[in-house]
Amino acid sequence: MDNDFSSLFQPLTIGRGAKKLTLKNRMVMAPMVTCLANSIGEVTPRMVDYYAERAKGGIGTVIVEAMDIDDRMLFNRLGVFHDRFVNQLEILAAAIRERGAAAIAQINQTGTRGNTLGPDDLTIAQINECVEWFGRAAERVKKADFNGVMIHGAHGYLISSFLSPLTNHRKDSYGGRREERARFAMEVVKSVRSAVGEDFPVF
């Protein structure tokens, strides 16, 4: 087997149009919750320093840890559920970009893994509200001048709990067959894309 990893250090262009993004290499720092935000979800100087150091190490892309899209957040988790977060997130994104890495923001709703409800407990109105939260969060990420947004769909959080028949027992259009269980995820993606436009990278 050929073990030449030189392609990892080659640039990669993603996206299109005005927001086309060229990454300096193909190495990515995956999102990992640091709990370096303060108790109300705001960026702290320590968090900025942490991500700046990672970007300075030569990585091509830094994906910032999961940002909660609603105010029923977990302690010391980063928030993106209000416009008041935008200015501080802009400082964080700039610190990453100034050191040569692309800055991607991950947005998340924790569901039963956090302080909120799971698929079986949500009304249709609450589902619709949550879909809107994702879109608004993505819009704030774009305003904060991140290079892209990532939708968290794993680890038993709300999106993945909708997808799994083990945690989604709904009998309406959001449960049952695979297509129905995927409806919530698809609506989230559409909400995010509508909020940020066609040219902004969505992961």
Active site residues: 157
| Cα torsion through 93, 94, 100, 105, rounded to 10 | 10
Give the closest residue to 201 by CA, choosing from 63, 59, 30: 63
Element spanning 93, H or E? helix 86-97
Beta strands (DSSP E) in the chain are: 12-14, 21-23, 28-29, 61-68, 78-79, 102-108, 148-151
Q: How many CA atoms lie within 13 A of 40 on its CB side?
A: 4
**Sign of CA pseudo-dihedral 51, 54, 58, 63:** negative
